[in-house]
Amino acid sequence: MSAPLVRLPSLDLVRGFVAVGRRMSITLAARDLCLTQSAVSRQIHTLEESLGMKLLVRGHRSIAFTPEGERLFRSADSALQQLQDVVGALRGTTGQRVVTITSTTGVTGLWLMPRLGAFLQAHPDIEVRLAASTRVVDLHAEGVDLAIRYGSRDAMPDGTEHLFDETVVPVAHPSLGLTALDGTAAVEKQMLLEFDGPYRPWLQWQAWLSSQGWERVQPKGMLRFNQYDQMIHAAVAGQGIALGRRALVSQMLGDGRLIALDPASGAVERPCLLAHPRGREAGAGSHDDDGVGTFRGAWHVTGRAGQAARTGGAMRPKESRG
Protein backbone atom coordinates (compact mmCIF):
# COMPACT_ATOMS: atom_id res chain seq x y z
CA MET A 1 0.00 0.00 0.00
CA SER A 2 1.41 3.36 -1.02
CA ALA A 3 1.91 6.10 1.55
CA PRO A 4 -0.04 9.33 0.94
CA LEU A 5 1.97 12.31 -0.33
CA VAL A 6 1.51 14.20 2.92
CA ARG A 7 3.35 11.47 4.82
CA LEU A 8 6.37 11.23 2.51
CA PRO A 9 9.69 12.46 3.96
CA SER A 10 11.06 15.78 2.78
CA LEU A 11 12.96 15.65 -0.50
CA ASP A 12 15.94 17.28 1.22
CA LEU A 13 16.13 14.36 3.66
CA VAL A 14 15.88 11.78 0.89
CA ARG A 15 18.48 13.63 -1.17
CA GLY A 16 20.88 13.61 1.77
CA PHE A 17 20.32 9.90 2.31
CA VAL A 18 20.88 9.10 -1.37
CA ALA A 19 24.04 11.23 -1.45
CA VAL A 20 25.42 9.25 1.50
CA GLY A 21 24.40 5.97 -0.10
CA ARG A 22 26.07 6.79 -3.39
CA ARG A 23 29.33 7.63 -1.65
CA MET A 24 28.99 5.45 1.47
CA SER A 25 30.55 8.40 3.24
CA ILE A 26 28.95 11.30 5.09
CA THR A 27 32.05 13.41 4.47
CA LEU A 28 31.97 12.94 0.70
CA ALA A 29 28.19 13.34 0.58
CA ALA A 30 28.50 16.65 2.43
CA ARG A 31 30.97 17.86 -0.18
CA ASP A 32 28.64 16.82 -3.01
CA LEU A 33 25.77 18.76 -1.43
CA CYS A 34 27.90 21.73 -0.33
CA LEU A 35 26.80 21.13 3.26
CA THR A 36 28.61 20.45 6.50
CA GLN A 37 29.02 16.89 7.76
CA SER A 38 26.87 17.67 10.77
CA ALA A 39 24.06 18.95 8.53
CA VAL A 40 24.05 15.71 6.50
CA SER A 41 24.17 13.65 9.70
CA ARG A 42 21.13 15.55 11.00
CA GLN A 43 19.28 14.85 7.75
CA ILE A 44 19.92 11.12 8.09
CA HIS A 45 18.90 11.14 11.75
CA THR A 46 15.70 13.08 10.98
CA LEU A 47 14.82 10.70 8.14
CA GLU A 48 15.34 7.70 10.42
CA GLU A 49 13.13 9.27 13.08
CA SER A 50 10.38 10.07 10.57
CA LEU A 51 10.36 6.46 9.32
CA GLY A 52 10.81 4.94 12.77
CA MET A 53 13.72 2.72 11.79
CA LYS A 54 17.47 2.68 11.35
CA LEU A 55 18.72 3.07 7.78
CA LEU A 56 22.48 3.10 8.33
CA VAL A 57 24.85 1.26 10.65
CA ARG A 58 27.66 3.60 11.65
CA GLY A 59 31.07 2.13 12.40
CA HIS A 60 34.24 3.85 13.56
CA ARG A 61 35.24 4.87 10.05
CA SER A 62 32.59 3.23 7.92
CA ILE A 63 28.87 3.06 7.33
CA ALA A 64 26.63 0.32 5.94
CA PHE A 65 22.98 -0.06 5.05
CA THR A 66 20.51 -1.85 7.23
CA PRO A 67 18.21 -4.12 5.20
CA GLU A 68 15.55 -1.37 5.34
CA GLY A 69 18.11 1.26 4.34
CA GLU A 70 19.28 -0.74 1.33
CA ARG A 71 15.70 -1.22 0.17
CA LEU A 72 14.97 2.48 0.49
CA PHE A 73 18.21 3.46 -1.22
CA ARG A 74 17.56 1.33 -4.30
CA SER A 75 14.19 2.95 -4.82
CA ALA A 76 15.19 6.50 -3.86
CA ASP A 77 18.41 6.45 -5.87
CA SER A 78 16.56 5.43 -9.02
CA ALA A 79 13.84 8.03 -8.46
CA LEU A 80 16.31 10.84 -7.82
CA GLN A 81 18.40 9.92 -10.85
CA GLN A 82 15.29 10.17 -13.01
CA LEU A 83 14.52 13.53 -11.41
CA GLN A 84 18.08 14.72 -12.07
CA ASP A 85 17.80 13.71 -15.71
CA VAL A 86 14.45 15.45 -16.20
CA VAL A 87 15.51 18.65 -14.44
CA GLY A 88 18.69 18.74 -16.50
CA ALA A 89 16.71 18.32 -19.70
CA LEU A 90 14.17 20.99 -18.72
CA ARG A 91 16.88 23.49 -17.90
CA GLY A 92 18.45 22.79 -21.24
CA THR A 93 15.22 23.61 -23.06
CA THR A 94 14.46 26.75 -21.05
CA GLY A 95 17.91 28.25 -21.48
CA GLN A 96 18.81 28.04 -17.78
CA ARG A 97 22.56 27.68 -17.48
CA VAL A 98 24.37 26.44 -14.39
CA VAL A 99 28.04 27.06 -13.61
CA THR A 100 29.59 25.16 -10.71
CA ILE A 101 32.77 26.67 -9.29
CA THR A 102 35.10 25.34 -6.64
CA SER A 103 37.68 27.53 -4.94
CA THR A 104 39.50 27.86 -1.65
CA THR A 105 37.65 29.39 1.26
CA GLY A 106 39.74 32.56 1.22
CA VAL A 107 39.40 33.19 -2.51
CA THR A 108 35.68 32.40 -2.43
CA GLY A 109 34.86 34.75 0.44
CA LEU A 110 37.25 37.61 -0.30
CA TRP A 111 37.76 37.64 -4.07
CA LEU A 112 34.95 35.77 -5.78
CA MET A 113 31.89 36.69 -3.71
CA PRO A 114 32.38 40.49 -3.89
CA ARG A 115 32.44 40.24 -7.69
CA LEU A 116 29.47 37.91 -8.15
CA GLY A 117 26.71 40.43 -7.57
CA ALA A 118 27.37 42.43 -10.73
CA PHE A 119 27.76 39.25 -12.78
CA LEU A 120 24.44 37.77 -11.60
CA GLN A 121 22.63 41.03 -12.31
CA ALA A 122 24.05 41.09 -15.84
CA HIS A 123 23.33 37.38 -16.45
CA PRO A 124 20.10 36.38 -14.65
CA ASP A 125 19.84 33.27 -16.85
CA ILE A 126 22.98 31.79 -15.31
CA GLU A 127 22.83 30.00 -11.97
CA VAL A 128 26.14 29.97 -10.09
CA ARG A 129 26.94 27.29 -7.54
CA LEU A 130 29.93 27.76 -5.25
CA ALA A 131 31.80 25.01 -3.41
CA ALA A 132 34.58 26.17 -1.09
CA SER A 133 37.10 23.34 -0.92
CA THR A 134 40.83 22.69 -0.96
CA ARG A 135 40.83 19.04 -1.91
CA VAL A 136 41.95 17.56 -5.22
CA VAL A 137 39.01 17.71 -7.64
CA ASP A 138 38.22 15.56 -10.65
CA LEU A 139 36.33 18.19 -12.63
CA HIS A 140 34.59 15.80 -14.99
CA ALA A 141 33.56 13.16 -12.47
CA GLU A 142 32.19 15.65 -9.94
CA GLY A 143 30.42 17.93 -12.40
CA VAL A 144 32.58 20.96 -11.63
CA ASP A 145 32.87 23.54 -14.40
CA LEU A 146 35.57 25.81 -13.02
CA ALA A 147 38.13 25.49 -10.26
CA ILE A 148 40.37 28.18 -8.79
CA ARG A 149 43.49 26.91 -7.07
CA TYR A 150 46.93 28.13 -6.09
CA GLY A 151 49.92 26.48 -7.73
CA SER A 152 52.73 26.97 -10.19
CA ARG A 153 51.66 27.07 -13.82
CA ASP A 154 53.77 23.99 -14.58
CA ALA A 155 51.87 21.98 -11.97
CA MET A 156 48.50 22.74 -13.55
CA PRO A 157 46.83 20.87 -16.45
CA ASP A 158 46.80 22.36 -19.92
CA GLY A 159 44.10 24.95 -20.47
CA THR A 160 44.51 27.06 -17.35
CA GLU A 161 43.96 30.79 -17.15
CA HIS A 162 46.12 33.04 -14.99
CA LEU A 163 44.08 35.26 -12.67
CA PHE A 164 46.51 37.10 -10.42
CA ASP A 165 49.87 36.79 -8.72
CA GLU A 166 50.21 36.16 -5.01
CA THR A 167 51.68 39.15 -3.14
CA VAL A 168 51.70 39.62 0.62
CA VAL A 169 51.55 42.87 2.60
CA PRO A 170 50.86 43.62 6.29
CA VAL A 171 47.42 45.22 6.67
CA ALA A 172 45.48 46.74 9.55
CA HIS A 173 42.38 48.78 10.29
CA PRO A 174 42.97 52.57 10.43
CA SER A 175 41.78 52.60 14.06
CA LEU A 176 45.13 51.08 15.11
CA GLY A 177 46.79 54.35 14.10
CA LEU A 178 49.53 52.72 12.03
CA THR A 179 50.87 53.77 8.65
CA ALA A 180 53.89 51.44 8.42
CA LEU A 181 55.81 48.77 10.26
CA ASP A 182 59.09 50.65 10.27
CA GLY A 183 60.78 48.97 13.22
CA THR A 184 60.60 46.27 15.84
CA ALA A 185 59.00 48.64 18.34
CA ALA A 186 55.90 48.93 16.17
CA VAL A 187 55.54 45.15 16.04
CA GLU A 188 56.10 44.69 19.77
CA LYS A 189 53.12 46.92 20.57
CA GLN A 190 50.65 45.08 18.35
CA MET A 191 48.63 41.88 18.23
CA LEU A 192 49.54 39.84 15.15
CA LEU A 193 46.88 37.82 13.34
CA GLU A 194 48.18 34.67 11.71
CA PHE A 195 46.80 32.15 9.26
CA ASP A 196 47.66 28.82 10.87
CA GLY A 197 48.13 26.77 7.73
CA PRO A 198 51.16 24.56 7.00
CA TYR A 199 50.77 24.92 3.23
CA ARG A 200 51.39 28.67 3.16
CA PRO A 201 54.55 29.50 5.19
CA TRP A 202 54.84 32.90 3.51
CA LEU A 203 51.50 33.83 5.09
CA GLN A 204 52.95 33.32 8.56
CA TRP A 205 54.66 36.04 10.52
CA GLN A 206 57.90 34.15 11.14
CA ALA A 207 58.77 34.25 7.44
CA TRP A 208 57.84 37.94 7.08
CA LEU A 209 59.71 39.03 10.22
CA SER A 210 62.76 37.06 9.09
CA SER A 211 62.68 38.84 5.74
CA GLN A 212 62.95 42.13 7.66
CA GLY A 213 65.77 40.84 9.86
CA TRP A 214 63.51 40.89 12.94
CA GLU A 215 63.63 37.20 13.90
CA ARG A 216 63.87 37.93 17.64
CA VAL A 217 61.05 40.44 17.89
CA GLN A 218 58.23 39.53 20.32
CA PRO A 219 54.80 40.91 19.44
CA LYS A 220 52.23 41.87 22.07
CA GLY A 221 50.37 38.68 21.25
CA MET A 222 49.42 36.27 18.47
CA LEU A 223 45.89 35.29 17.40
CA ARG A 224 45.72 32.34 15.00
CA PHE A 225 43.02 31.31 12.53
CA ASN A 226 42.55 28.17 10.45
CA GLN A 227 40.50 30.04 7.83
CA TYR A 228 42.10 32.90 5.95
CA ASP A 229 38.93 34.96 5.45
CA GLN A 230 38.20 34.87 9.20
CA MET A 231 41.63 36.34 9.86
CA ILE A 232 41.05 39.19 7.41
CA HIS A 233 37.65 39.97 8.94
CA ALA A 234 39.37 40.13 12.34
CA ALA A 235 41.81 42.66 10.89
CA VAL A 236 38.92 44.75 9.55
CA ALA A 237 37.46 44.65 13.08
CA GLY A 238 40.67 46.21 14.40
CA GLN A 239 41.84 43.14 16.31
CA GLY A 240 45.40 43.24 15.00
CA ILE A 241 47.73 43.19 12.00
CA ALA A 242 47.38 40.50 9.33
CA LEU A 243 49.44 39.45 6.35
CA GLY A 244 47.11 40.29 3.51
CA ARG A 245 47.09 38.77 0.07
CA ARG A 246 46.87 41.92 -1.99
CA ALA A 247 44.57 40.49 -4.64
CA LEU A 248 42.10 39.29 -1.99
CA VAL A 249 42.08 42.48 0.10
CA SER A 250 42.31 44.99 -2.76
CA GLN A 251 38.72 46.19 -2.33
CA MET A 252 39.24 46.65 1.41
CA LEU A 253 42.39 48.65 0.73
CA GLY A 254 40.54 50.71 -1.85
CA ASP A 255 37.60 51.65 0.40
CA GLY A 256 39.72 52.27 3.50
CA ARG A 257 38.63 49.33 5.62
CA LEU A 258 42.28 48.28 5.64
CA ILE A 259 45.56 50.08 5.04
CA ALA A 260 48.80 48.58 3.75
CA LEU A 261 51.66 48.96 6.22
CA ASP A 262 54.55 47.96 4.00
CA PRO A 263 55.35 47.48 0.31
CA ALA A 264 54.13 44.12 -0.86
CA SER A 265 56.48 41.18 -1.25
CA GLY A 266 57.19 39.68 -4.63
CA ALA A 267 54.85 37.26 -6.35
CA VAL A 268 54.79 33.82 -4.77
CA GLU A 269 52.56 31.69 -6.99
CA ARG A 270 49.56 31.81 -9.28
CA PRO A 271 45.98 30.62 -9.03
CA CYS A 272 44.49 29.33 -12.24
CA LEU A 273 40.95 29.08 -13.61
CA LEU A 274 40.15 25.62 -14.94
CA ALA A 275 37.27 24.72 -17.27
CA HIS A 276 35.34 21.45 -17.38
CA PRO A 277 35.05 19.93 -20.88
CA ARG A 278 31.72 19.95 -22.64
CA GLY A 279 32.87 18.41 -25.89
CA ARG A 280 33.34 21.74 -27.66
CA GLU A 281 34.97 25.09 -27.21
CA ALA A 282 32.94 28.24 -26.69
CA GLY A 283 34.27 31.74 -26.87
CA ALA A 284 34.11 33.76 -23.69
CA GLY A 285 30.90 35.68 -23.63
CA SER A 286 29.18 33.70 -26.41
CA HIS A 287 25.41 33.43 -26.10
CA ASP A 288 25.10 29.80 -27.11
CA ASP A 289 27.53 28.22 -24.66
CA ASP A 290 26.68 26.59 -21.33
CA GLY A 291 27.49 29.64 -19.20
CA VAL A 292 31.12 28.76 -18.51
CA GLY A 293 32.49 30.90 -21.33
CA THR A 294 30.26 33.79 -20.27
CA PHE A 295 31.48 33.52 -16.70
CA ARG A 296 35.13 33.44 -17.72
CA GLY A 297 34.66 36.38 -20.04
CA ALA A 298 33.11 38.43 -17.23
CA TRP A 299 36.45 38.57 -15.42
CA HIS A 300 37.57 41.21 -17.91
CA VAL A 301 36.32 43.60 -15.19
CA THR A 302 39.02 42.34 -12.86
CA GLY A 303 41.75 43.28 -15.28
CA ARG A 304 42.63 39.64 -15.83
CA ALA A 305 40.77 37.88 -18.62
CA GLY A 306 41.27 35.91 -21.76
CA GLN A 307 40.18 32.61 -23.14
CA ALA A 308 41.47 29.20 -22.13
CA ALA A 309 40.85 25.81 -23.64
CA ARG A 310 38.79 23.42 -21.62
CA THR A 311 40.51 20.41 -20.16
CA GLY A 312 39.24 17.04 -19.03
CA GLY A 313 41.88 15.85 -16.57
CA ALA A 314 41.63 15.75 -12.81
CA MET A 315 43.08 18.83 -11.19
CA ARG A 316 46.20 17.83 -9.33
CA PRO A 317 48.17 20.92 -8.27
CA LYS A 318 49.67 21.36 -4.83
CA GLU A 319 46.68 22.03 -2.67
CA SER A 320 45.90 25.29 -0.91
CA ARG A 321 44.34 25.60 2.54
CA GLY A 322 43.49 29.31 2.43
For the chain, domains (ranges, CATH) are 5-92 (1.10.10.10), 95-165+269-302 (3.40.190.10), 168-260 (3.40.190.10)
Rounded to whole angstroms, the Cα distance separating 242 from 170 reads 6
Give the H or E element holding residue 271.
strand 270-275
DSSP assigned state of 110 = I
> What pLDDT shows up at residue 316?
32
Stated pTM of the model: 0.60
The phi and psi torsions of 190 (rounded to 5 degrees) equal: -120, 155
Angle at 164 between CA 163 and CA 167, to 5 degrees: 160
Position 71 pLDDT exceeds 90: yes
Lowest mean pLDDT among 11-20, 145-154, 279-288: 279-288
pLDDT band, very low/low/confident/very high, at 312 (cuts 50, 70, 90): very low
Residues 163-218: tens digit of each pLDDT: 777 788 999 999 999 998 888 888 999 999 999 876 677 788 988 888 888 988 99
Q: How far is CA 208 from the centre of its chain?
A: 26
Q: Are 170 and 265 within 8 A, CB to CB?
A: no
Q: How far is CA 45 from the centre of its chain?
A: 27
SS3 57: strand
Lowest mean pLDDT among 37-51, 127-141, 180-194: 127-141
Rg over CA atoms, the chain:
23
For β-strands 160-162 and 270-275, DSSP reports them as antiparallel
Residues 7-42: tens digit of each pLDDT: 899 999 999 999 999 989 898 898 888 888 999 999
Q: Which residue has the higher pLDDT, 256 or 202?
A: 256
Rounded to whole angstroms, the Cα distance separating 296 from 43 reads 35
Q: What does the CA dihedral 218, 220, 225, 230 come to, rounded to 10 degrees? A: -130
Q: How many CB atoms lie within 10 A of CB 12?
A: 14
Rounded to whole angstroms, the Cα distance separating 317 from 160 reads 12
Q: Count CA within 13 A, CB hemisphere, residue 272.
A: 24
Q: Which long-range contacts (CB under 8 A, 24 or more apart) does 121-124 make?
A: 122/298, 123/291, 123/294, 123/295, 123/298
DSSP assignment string, 208-242: HHHHTT-TT---SEEEEESSHHHHHHHHHTTS-EE
Residues 100-113: tens digit of each pLDDT: 888 888 888 898 88
Position 97 pLDDT exceeds 50: yes
Q: Which residue has the higher pLDDT, 214 or 313?
A: 214
> What pLDDT shows up at residue 194?
94
Q: How many CB atoms lie within 10 A of CB 208?
A: 22
Rounded to whole angstroms, the Cα distance separating 164 from 270 reads 6
Residues 216-246: tens digit of each pLDDT: 899 999 999 988 999 999 999 999 999 999 8
Q: Name 246's Cβ contacts closer than 8 Å, sequence gap at least 6.
A: 167, 168, 169, 253, 260, 264
